[in-house]
Amino acid sequence: MTTGEVEAMVEAFIRGAERAEQAGFDGIELHGAHGYILAQFLSPDINHRTDRYGGSLENRQRLIFEIIEGIRKRCRPDFMIGVRLSPERFGMKLDEVVQVADKLMREELIEFLDMSMWDVFKMPEDGGTPGKTLLSYFTELDRKGCRLGVAGKLRTPAELQRAMDAGVDWVMLGRGAIIHHDYPNKLKANPNFEPLDVPVTSDHLRAEGLGETFIEYMKIWKGFVKDNDGFIDNELILNS
């Protein structure tokens, strides 16, 4: 992308937020994780640009902050902005993601920060400080008025509570909500609710409201879908 094309992309993000506001939404989330375009700019492994959007962390994070600035100027004052980040994979560096998260919250630029941890309770892959969990790098930041949420292998009510007890403001369900579309209602009705574990059948996913295209996509996720014919991820299960 040329510098001009990056500038056009900034404008496209801002216009997207404006359209969301016009459609009646109260806010948006910028996806800066999982290898999407904002994450690619943040990653020193992927971003080899030599203009003002590459090189230093200040430059690589510029895209996100320019988009936020534009949304703030052109949407109503109470329009909410959130950002999703992940501290690992796709070339993300923990210390840099901590710096980005700190700036977003300390300068009160966003209403919520969505941290995708892959596994909320894991230790940092790069070693980090001995005995310090990956999550703690973010719960210890000064949030000002920003809310901190986490996602990553949260399945059981006990795991949800453990994450809340670690100091986050809310938790997010991925696989658990796919398997149980009404997970929050089940938990509200029964604090001891025990969600199903993977693999689950295609029929179960259909009963939970997933369309055929979504089910086919979920089959890409290793060990998630067990078809009624005894296959998981197109691999035959051999019973001894």
Q: How far apart are CA 156 and CA 178, in angstroms?
A: 14
Q: How far apart are CA 201 and CA 199, in angstroms?
A: 7
Q: Report which DSSP code applies to 107.
A: T
Q: How far apart are CA 85 and CA 101, in angstroms?
A: 8
pLDDT band at 135 (very low <50, low <70, confident <90, very high): very high
Answer positive or negative: Cα dihedral of 29, 34, 88, 44: negative
Give yes or no for a contact between 156 and 195, defined as CB atoms under 8 angstroms apart.
yes
Average pLDDT of span 231-235: 48
Q: Is 137 assigned a catalytic role? A: no
| Total residues belonging to the chain | 240
Q: How far apart are CA 70 and CA 85, in angstroms?
A: 20
Q: How far apart are CA 5 and CA 108, in angstroms?
A: 28
pLDDT digits (tens, 9 = 90+) for 10-23: 999 999 999 999 99
Q: How many CA atoms lie within 13 A of 146 on its CB side?
A: 27
pLDDT band at 229 (very low <50, low <70, confident <90, very high): very low
Q: How far apart are CA 58 and CA 103, in angstroms?
A: 11
Q: How far apart are CA 53 and CA 134, in angstroms?
A: 27
Domain ranges of the chain: 3-153, 198-240
**CA 1 to each of CA 31, 53, 174: distance values in angstroms, whole numbers, following the listed order:** 19, 11, 32
Candidates 36, 53, 137, 183; catalytic one:
36
Q: How far apart are CA 226 and CA 236, in angstroms?
A: 10
Q: How many CB atoms lie within 10 A of CB 112?
A: 21
- Quote the pLDDT of residue 114: 98
pLDDT band at 184 (very low <50, low <70, confident <90, very high): very high
pLDDT digits (tens, 9 = 90+) for 17-70: 999 999 999 999 999 999 999 999 999 999 999 999 999 999 999 999 999 999
Q: CATH topology for 3-153?
A: TIM Barrel (3.20.20)
Nearest alpha-carbon partner for 219 in 237, 239, 238, 198: 198
Q: How many CB atoms lie within 10 A of CB 203?
A: 12
At 162, give phi and psi (nearest 5°).
Answer: -60, -40
pLDDT digits (tens, 9 = 90+) for 149-166: 999 999 999 999 999 999
Nearest alpha-carbon partner for 223 in 235, 239, 238, 213: 235
Q: Where are the beta strands (DSSP E) in 35-107?
A: 80-85
